Structure 1
Amino acid sequence: MKKFAKKFVVLSLATGLAATSLVACSNGNDSQTTPEGQNQSTENKTDDKKEETSKSKYTTAVVASLEMNGVFSPFFATTGYDMGVAEMVVAPLIKADRNAQPQSELAEFAIEEVKGDDGVVTETVYTFTLKDGVTFSDGKPVTADDIIFTYKVLADPSYDGPSTFVTLPVVGLEEYAKGDATEISGIEKVDDKTVKVTLKGIDPAAIWKLGGVAVAPQHYYGVDDSGKEYAKGDLTVVKARNAKPMGAGAYTFGSFENNVVTLNANESYFKGAPATPTIKYQVTAESNKLEGLKLGEFDISDPSASVEMVKNVEDAGLEYRLVDNLGYGYIGMNAERITDVNVRKGLMHLMNRRPAVESYYGELATVIERPMSQVSWAYPEGATEYYGFDPAKALEYFTAAGYTQVDKNGKPSLEKDGKQLRIEVGIPGGGTMDHPTAPVLTQMKTEMEKIGAVLEIADTDGTVFFDRLNQSDWDMWVAAWGATVDPDMYQVYHSEGPSNHYKVKNADLDQLIVDARLTNDIEERKECYSKALDIIMDEAVEMPVYQRKNMYVFNQEIVDMDSLPKDMTPYYTYFAEVESFRLK
């Protein structure tokens, strides 16, 4: 499942709100999107970097971050860095273990399949029972009512966030979301600690969409400061809390000032008060992620992994970890702006990916051939190249689309109906083209000029880039997707998907996506996804570019490296056991 995040990180595994995150960042914890390779501009330092106490030499950990939008809501955060903040403050019912299997967090869970006389599963029942003593950071208990409130917000008719919760086949969900029902009949409060959810048939992603949801306190998100209460059909009360999250997570939200987010240890956290009293996220430029660490501005950073970066980190005497990224970089096209599939296929044949990936990442990334992270179990084995770099073939497709080369002052101009082929592509390179896919675009521009077409490269910062992407204002764009545990493709590629920026509408693709949701059989789902990925490639709306590694760098003079999780995976990184994270 993809999450739409800036690290258009979707949301992430902890929140379980979205299928995929769109990422625009160069390194990134791609769980929902920051601009890959983007050069951000702010480099503010924290004023109270470290504090000395009698018990510990350091009490504040500073983490480097790229740009944040300040929407730290478990319901409405859409960028990876915003989500990362929210996930420290809120907590889900379940979370993923190292191997992407569900494990209990706030609640224990049970799954029961109900079969008819013919042996076919007619219903699936999920039961979540809150653990004893689980409270929100204000001391009030987490209850079944809070879980149901959270579900209702995600199912609200006016909900416009990244969650695909409403696509679940929960009994009565459609009547609630699209009708006058005041309750969701398939969601039942068994007692103050237990919620039972009944689904029609099977949905393999349901465990994450139900259990991965971050439980929001109804007494906080359901009432604003003026006393106005949330009512179905109007989410203004819930959105009033976007800038200041509250929940049952390991930390409480302090402030977001001068490009610094301050989080404080939640003394009532159900796993015990975190060992590190304060964590700060400091916004900086991608280009400053290592230098800032060397200068002591940060204690933890995630510079883009490359052979050169590994050498620079080792030369600086810093500790690092390399972990496969649960996501991939890509180039997307809007089928409603570039309507002729032959034009899109022609553009695909002008994308020379391998030299760009090798020059930027070296051996720390590989070219991929289908639009899905290779980390996922659903990535098709033996996938071969669909569109090779071939300018002559590109011209053939442009000709098939009705374009011809005409002479204009001794130079060719590729035109149709008197209009020259002109494509605008957005790239979040911060104005310096600092992006792994930038060389692909510069070569495309040269090749298009040779045949008489124009490629306009708009290199912007992340905010402008995503604003225009959300408005469907790019013909073509460069970003990255971050994926969740289940590779459900509905959010991004289904005709009705909320993050279908490609505007692809294909009935066969829609059916395959739906079919993959109707079985728990992994092999059947693999076959569906393999066919679906081929259709996406044939529609020529997305060119997968690279699969990379994430790099996490630590100042081991500050961070107690023994407190980090052992054997990190894409699903289980350095803050997976944040309550145990310590400074020296």
Structure 2
Amino acid sequence: QEIIDYVYANYPRYVGSDYFPGYTLKDVSQSPTLQAAFGMAMWGFGKINEEGAFVDNSGNTYDLAADTIDAKVYWQNILDKYGYDLGEINVEAAGQSIEDYIRDAYILAKGQEEGGVPSISGITTGTAVDDDGVERETIQIVLDGVDPTAIFKMGVQVTPVHYYTDGYTGSLNDFGVEVGNKAFMDFLKTKNVKPVGAGPYVFDEYKDNVITYTANDSFLLGSPKIKTFRYQEITLGAEYDSVKTDTVHYTDPSASMTIINDITEGEGDNAKLAYTLVDNDGYGYIGIQGQAIPEHEVRKAIAHASNVQLSVDNYYQELASVNYRTMTKVLWAYPDNPENLFPYDATGETSKGLFLEAGYVYDEGKNEMQYPEGHEKAGEQVTFKFTLPAAAENHPAGSIFIDTQKVLALIGVKVDIEVDEGLLDKLSTAYA
């Protein structure tokens, strides 16, 4: 069912195409059978024949107006193709792996039984003495593989049992819950007005765009010395001014050398300010559209013609560094001194060789790189469109694009640079 839902949500434009001819999006939206058939067709598990019937991958034929196709039919097709080879089945997954699905189903079923799940291999409890000399309870979780993002997938909210069970008159298990009891869930909702977590502060109120927190006297490491903490909403871009005018005491403006230099010089309102630089857990990258440029060699050619150091030199300066992997440098899994997989070649010769390797043709007399034979633009000059959401001088990738344009021009490749202020919205829609 997950694949069916995924396909219907992400590929509606293919309804009525050669993948699923004869139907409109309205037809599919009103029929679970058509949705299942569409999901199977898009995943290669069936197709509509010339008579309009749906033939699945197992050879069964269905009348889409009278027969029922659902997740059970889809699952049987998967079993017919792969048997119970879980590794192969996972290739077809649109999200959750089959092992995760089975595990979740087991835990859900066992959780409804008296006593619940007795134990989970890989999760153990114990005690440890902290640096402050206090012995505290611990939980150790052992993974069965390497996953740099595992900690973000735990999905466990730590909540104090003394608060969320206070006033509940039903029976609770050792973990402070009553499994599968609607009355218990309804009772928990009464605490939503003033939630309490396991952190150092407790929510007090939200008023006039200001959230007020008070010290959590039950905090694991002791009650905070600062007893009241307020979090105020500030207009984006006004963070620096808000701290200069004492509207707030701490803020996190986007770092720039201008702000740092002003605070360092310490003149006027800046005399009372100090700053601390913190590594950002994000990173930026330049995307190359694989559908528009399907050849791996050509995408590599563009990468070798891109001097990404320019974004640091001309925009971020001392506040950034080049990232050679598609993960944040703050992440523990980021390698030490990673190799630059696409070293910059200002001569364009590396890029030229990759174009030729992909079958493109170079006309030396015209200094023109041409699309290869068989391409819909065969014989024409290779032309790319580079798009920015802002003017080149105001965007980190601007100087990179301008330089890449010059490098590729050396080997006869034309690059047009355009500005589209709606670019980010278009990308969000494309990858939603």
Q: Which has the higher helix share?
A: 2
TM-score by length of 2: 0.48
- More relative contact order, 1 or 2 (CA 8 Å, 6+ apart): 1
Structure index of larger Rg: 2
Q: Which has the higher strand share?
A: 1
TM-score by length of 1: 0.37
